[in-house]
Amino acid sequence: MNFKALFEPVRIGSLELKNRFVQPAMESQTTTLEHIFSEQSIAYFAARAEGGFGLQITDYMAVSKDGIGVPTEAGWWDDSFIEKHKPLADAVHKYGGKIFAQLHHSGMMCEIKNTGVVTRGPSAIPSSAHLEPVKAFTTEECYQMADFYGEAARRAKAAGFDGVEVHGAHFYLLGQFMSRYVNKRIDEFGGDYKGRFRLAKLCIQRVKEVCGESYPVTFRLSTEEFLDGGSNLDDAVIYACLAQEAGADAINISIGSGIGGNIITPSYFDPGFNVKAAAKIKENVTIPTIVVGRINDPVLAEHIVKSGQADMVALGRQSVADSEFPKKVKEGRTGEIFQCTGCMQRCYYAEGCEKDDKGISCILNPFSGKESRWKIRTAEKRKKVLIAGAGAAGLECAWVLAKRGHEVQIYEKEDLPGGNFRLASVPPHKNDFARAIYTYLNLCKKYGAKVITGTEVTIEILNQENPDSIVLATGAKPLVPPIKGIDKADIKFASDILSGREIIGQKKVLIMGGGLVGCELAEYLNQFHNQVTIVEMQSMLAKEDVKRSRVVLMERLRKAGTTQCTNTKILEILPDGIRAETPDGEKEMRGYDKLILALGYQSNNPLQETADSMGKEVHVIGDAARARNAKFAIYEGAKLGMSL
């Protein structure tokens, strides 16, 4: 496939873009308390410009200080920001990219702890997210707000930005005015579609008046707010038409709201889920459209543009997963793309793996967000490296080492590489984890790392290979706690089912352990008409999962009829169930056909003593060192790969 449509130039007003790839606005979490982009921010955007994105749109940038959404939000409210933000535009231009500044005000989504003033919105209705008093903008203040947008655009233009985006999506100020959910005004800024859109219209027009008709302006809106009485697709079509009438040069089509959710979507949402809605907007406007929504495959991206459903594709979390997505597509290296899994375990306000691992990043691509610090450089001295274990940690380490010039051999005792990370792809909507293993293998092949499966590392192999360095990445094994009866019962592990070694259908199943593994296993077993019960000692299931993803997972389990027993401590395992301590006292839960243990993992490092006896340099990474989230394993694999 030549992906011709994705690389045809396109115009936004007077500006020509070299391709159809857009990096949309996201909170990179790298802006500073001085309301500017940090050096890391600049490196982050520059990497994506170098990676081939035709257009990049900044994190949201406040047009007035009383509109910031987070304490570090970058700003445009005075002229001092012109020189402060110029380095960002210059960095993108260095690589032939174009960049727009996203103009924003949080409105009723502000918090007084951030702004220092009483929050204002279209009406005196508080945000359900903050429950703080909100004062309605006066009519005069609405007109003044349009001036703030115009002045912010003037500064952006002076700083070298190629255009601006007026942010009307995600239930920020302009979206609030457009939404029946919160706009209860009785002046010209409420009442009907034109009234509710009036402020957005004035902001677009004011930008054009101040910066000139030729200065590009995009308008971002949501196709659905997921609020009872909020804006929906029909509303979005009307607002897109009104934005075009107001002078917008393109419509950037997003989804979700700060209260209703789904601005950032987990793996349970199908790739391209927002495309059909975008196509309806495209049918009703004559200016270009941009669509976002889990677009993580170049074939899907090409289809969207080629079929005319949208003119450009915005790769949000996908641009975090792989900053070189457009470049790899253009060069025919699609097998090397790290495809976003929708796991949200590192990009979505998640903690890093160590002190210096801050800001937005990706579980599959720990280099993301560290562009100014992490570099893969040719090794000064070529070494022979043997890696035991072809899970995510071992494979990540292998390709990085091989790219640096080392001779790498990676041994895996199973017939297939991937370890527990591959098994994680088996439950519904998790297939992109398997794609990650495919990418790792392609990179290993490209750089010459040899992957040997079906072979367990022994002292004989170590003596035969005689490596300079040994990397132990043997992963984790199921935790088997000393519970009474555990040695007598016929117990299966999650890996038995997910690997296909054990098939369970139309049975009454008890899963002991309600962490993420246990809950996703329940999802898998629900497909085969099993009656599943999960017991968990803690007060909530899948506690370690990302909040947004967990909400969806719990709802899916509920709809499938999965019985969820929390605050339940297993005292004894019986032949057909358990004796447990529950909130209602001690009781027996019996009559189950299958018992499955999913109480967590422990490190599996059987080669430590053998490797140490070789007198070689030995490193232990990932779950072999300590069982944790996969982001730690991949992070440690990359870090060792760069330093060895």
Q: Which active-site residues does the annotation give?
A: 172
428 contacts 527 by C-beta, under 8 angstroms:
yes
Residue 156 neighbours by CB under 8 Å, 6+ apart: 61, 76, 85, 101, 103, 164
Please, which residues bridge with residue 493 across strands?
Answer: 597
Residues whose CB falls within 8 Å of the CB of residue 491, separated by 6 or more in sequence, listed in order: 573, 595, 596, 597
Look up residue 301 and give its two tokens. 């991206």
As a residue count, the chain comes to: 644
CA distances from 66 to 70, 146, 228, 450 (A): 11, 15, 28, 57
Say if residues 153 and 103 touch (Cβ distance below 8 Å).
yes
DSSP, residue by residue, 201-214: HHHHHHHHHHH-TT
- For residues 47 and 323, is the Cβ–Cβ distance under 8 A? yes
Q: How far apart are CA 165 and CA 179, in angstroms?
A: 19
Q: 396 exposed, middle or buried (CB, 10 Å; 0-12, 13-18, 19+)?
A: buried
- Residue 490's contacts (CB-CB under 8 Å, 6 or more residues apart) are 575, 595
Q: In whole angstroms, give the CA distance from residue 467 to residue 546.
A: 40
**How far from the centroid of its chain's Cα atoms is residue 298's Cα?**
17
108 DSSP assignment: G
Amino acid at 462: L
What is the C-alpha to C-alpha distance for residues 232 and 222, in angstroms, rounded to an integer? 8
Secondary structure letter of residue 510 according to DSSP: E
DSSP code of residue 426: S
Please state, as a whole number, how many other Cβ atoms lie within 10 Å of the Cβ of residue 308. Answer: 12
Quote the DSSP letter at residue 6. G
Nearest to 425 by CA among 567, 556, 307, 520: 520
With a CB cutoff of 8 Å and minimum separation 6, the contacts of 6 are: 19, 20, 21, 298, 301, 302, 305, 313, 326, 329
C-alpha–C-alpha distance, residues 68 and 74, integer Å: 8
Q: Which helix (H) or strand (E) holds 407?
A: strand 407-412
Report yes or no: 427 and 495 within 8 Å, Cβ to Cβ. no
What CA–CA distances, in Å, run from 318 to 53, 239, 377, 437, 443? 12, 28, 25, 17, 18
Task: Give 572-621 as a 3 state SS string.
Answer: EEECCEEEEEECCEEEEECCCCEEEECCCEEECCCCHHHHHHCCCEEEEC
**Distance between terminal CA atoms of the chain?**
38
3-state secondary structure of 156: helix
